[in-house]
C-alpha cells in the first residue's frame, strides 16, 4: 500500500493529529495525537528530514505563554511526532514557511501587520528580522526559485515582495525591511493566500472578502507581478462582500464572503479554493497561459479553513473548523471532487500538511 502521512493542526484541541492516507483508495486512518501545542494554527513541513514546524498561540498569547514555533520530528514508519526545540516569537503568527536553505522560517503576523524571519528552533542567535508587509498580513510564500518572498496584506489590499538574494532594500522608519515592490489590488477585496505554479511564472491570489482569484504573471528577475485575470470563486453563492475580521470586530454572520485556502495540484491542472460561509470548495481548470476556467462548487466540511493536496496529486483534503472532521476527495480527470473518506479530528482543525512516505 502506498500512503502519505497527513498532519492536521487543531487550534482549540491544542494538538496535531496524524493520519495515514492510502493514495490508491483515499482511505484515512488515524495514527497518532500530539498534544501540548496550545492553539496550533499553521505548519510547514521540511520533507527532506521529516521535521514539522508548528506555529502556536495565534490569538491568545500571554507573558506566561508567548507565541512560539515548535519543531516536531516525524517518524515515517509510525507517523508519530516527537516534540523538539521551540522558539518564542515577538508577535502572533498565522502562517509559517521555510527558506530555501532550510535554516530559517518566515512568519506572517495578521494582528501586527508584518513578516518576521528567524532561525529554526534551537539554532542561530535568535535574531528576528521584520519586514513591512502591511496590515493583516496573511501569508509568507517563497518563490520556487528562492529569490523572493511574497506577502498578501488583507487590510491594505496589496501583495508585496521582498528580495532574498542579493542586496535587500533599505529599512522603513519602523526599522523594518521595505518591500522590493508591490502591486495594489481592488480596494476591499482582501488578498489572503497565494500559490505559485511549478515554474514560478504564474501566481494565484485568493481574496478573502471579494471571493475573487487573481492570476498574475511574474517576472523572475524583478519579482514584479502583472495582472492577467480575475475570476470569481463565489459565483452563484448569493453572498455579500465580506469585512476584515479581528477578535474585536463583530461577527458579520453567514451571509458574507469569507474565503480561506487555495491549492494547486502538483501537475498544475486544477486549482481549488474554499469559502467558509457556505462551506464549499470552488474548482478551476488551469488553461493555456495559466488562466482559469471555473468548474463549479462542492459542499464540504463546516467552515473549511485548511486544505491540502496529497503529494500524489490524486486527493484534496479539507478540514472543517466547525465540524472537527477532515474529508478526502478524489480529484477526477475533469477536476470534479468525489468524497471517498472522512475522519474525526481534535477541535478546531486549521491547517494540513502531507508527507509522502514509502
Give the integer Cα–Cα distance in Å for 182 and 161. Answer: 6
Give 216-263 pLDDT, tens digit per residue. Answer: 999 999 999 999 999 999 999 999 999 999 888 878 888 999 999 999
211/180 Cα distance (integer angstroms) = 27
Q: Nearest-CA neighbor of 353 among 35, 53, 25?
A: 53
Least trusted range by pLDDT, from 123-137, 155-169, 183-197: 155-169
Beta bridge partners of 319: 306, 326
Res. 65 pLDDT band, cuts 50 70 90: confident
For residues 354 and 47, what is the distance between their CA atoms, to the nearest angstrom?
Answer: 9
Q: What is the pLDDT of residues 135-172, one digit of tens each?
A: 999 999 999 999 999 999 999 999 999 999 876 666 66
Question: Would you say residue 61 has pLDDT above 60?
Answer: no
Of 98, 101, 1, 3, nearest in space to 55 by CA: 98
pTM, whole model, 2 decimals?
Answer: 0.96
End-to-end CA distance of the chain: 9
Give the mean pLDDT of 170-196. Answer: 91
Q: Which residue has the cell 532574498?
A: 164
User: Do residues 272 and 293 lie in contact, with contact meaning Cβ atoms separated by under 8 Å?
Assistant: no
CATH topology of domain 39-338: Methylamine Dehydrogenase; Chain H (2.130.10)
Q: Please compute the mean of the pLDDT values over residues 193-220 and round it to a whole number.
A: 98
What's the rounded mean pLDDT across residues 2-8? 95
Which of 147, 262, 268 shows the shortest CA–CA distance to 195?
262
205-342-273 Cα angle (round to 5)? 10
Question: Rounded CA gap, 49 and 53, in Å?
Answer: 12
Residue 63 confidence (pLDDT): 62
Query: pLDDT digit string (tens) for 85-115?
Result: 999 999 999 999 999 899 999 999 999 999 9
Query: Which residue is associated with the grid cell 496524524?
Result: 18
pLDDT digits (tens, 9 = 90+) for 113-125: 999 999 999 998 8
Boundaries of every domain in the chain: 39-338
Amino acid at each position: 500500500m502506498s500512503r502519505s502521512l497527513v498532519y492536521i493542526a487543531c487550534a482549540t484541541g491544542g494538538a496535531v493529529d496524524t493520519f495515514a492516507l492510502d493514495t490508491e483508495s483515499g482511505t484515512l486512518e488515524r495514527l497518532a495525537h500530539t498534544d501540548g501545542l496550545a492553539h496550533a494554527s499553521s505548519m510547514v513541513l521540511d520533507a527532506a528530514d521529516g521535521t514539522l514546524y508548528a506555529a502556536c498561540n495565534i490569538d491568545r498569547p500571554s507573558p506566561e505563554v508567548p507565541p512560539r514555533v515548535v519543531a516536531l520530528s516525524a517518524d515515517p514508519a509510525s507517523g508519530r511526532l516527537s516534540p523538539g526545540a521551540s522558539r518564542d516569537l515577538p508577535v502572533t503568527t498565522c502562517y509559517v514557511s521555510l527558506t530555501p536553505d532550510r535554516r530559517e522560517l518566515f512568519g506572517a503576523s495578521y494582528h501586527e501587520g508584518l513578516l518576521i524571519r528567524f532561525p529554526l528552533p534551537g539554532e542561530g542567535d535568535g535574531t528576528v528580522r521584520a519586514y513591512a508587509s502591511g496590515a493583516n498580513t496573511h501569508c509568507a510564500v517563497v518563490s520556487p526559485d528562492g529569490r523572493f518572498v511574497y506577502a498578501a496584506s488583507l487590510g491594505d489590499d496589496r501583495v508585496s515582495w521582498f528580495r532574498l538574494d542579493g542586496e535587500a532594500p533599505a529599512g522603513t522608519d519602523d526599522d523594518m525591511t521595505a518591500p522590493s515592490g508591490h502591486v495594489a489590488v481592488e480596494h476591499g477585496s482582501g488578498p489572503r493566500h497565494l500559490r505559485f505554479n511549478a515554474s514560478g511564472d504564474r501566481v494565484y491570489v485568493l481574496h478573502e472578502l471579494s471571493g475573487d482569484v487573481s492570476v498574475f504573471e511574474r517576472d523572475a528577475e524583478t519579482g514584479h507581478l502583472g495582472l492577467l485575470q480575475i475570476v470569481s470563486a463565489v459565483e452563484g453563492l448569493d453572498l455579500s462582500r465580506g469585512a476584515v475580521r479581528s477578535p474585536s470586530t463583530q461577527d458579520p454572520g453567514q451571509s458574507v464572503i469569507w474565503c480561506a485556502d487555495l491549492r494547486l495540484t502538483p501537475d498544475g491542472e486544477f486549482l481549488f479554493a474554499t469559502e467558509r460561509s457556505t462551506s464549499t470548495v470552488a474548482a478551476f481548470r488551469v488553461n493555456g497561459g495559466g488562466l482559469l476556467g471555473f468548474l463549479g462548487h462542492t459542499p464540504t466540511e463546516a467552515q473549511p479553513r485548511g486544505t491540502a493536496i496529497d503529494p500524489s496529486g490524486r486527493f484534496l483534503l479539507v478540514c472543517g473548523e466547525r465540524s472537527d472532521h477532515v474529508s478526502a476527495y478524489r480529484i477526477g480527470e475533469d477536476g470534479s471532487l468525489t468524497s471517498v473518506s472522512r475522519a474525526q479530528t481534535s477541535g478546531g482543525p486549521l491547517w494540513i500538511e502531507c508527507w509522502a512516505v514509502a
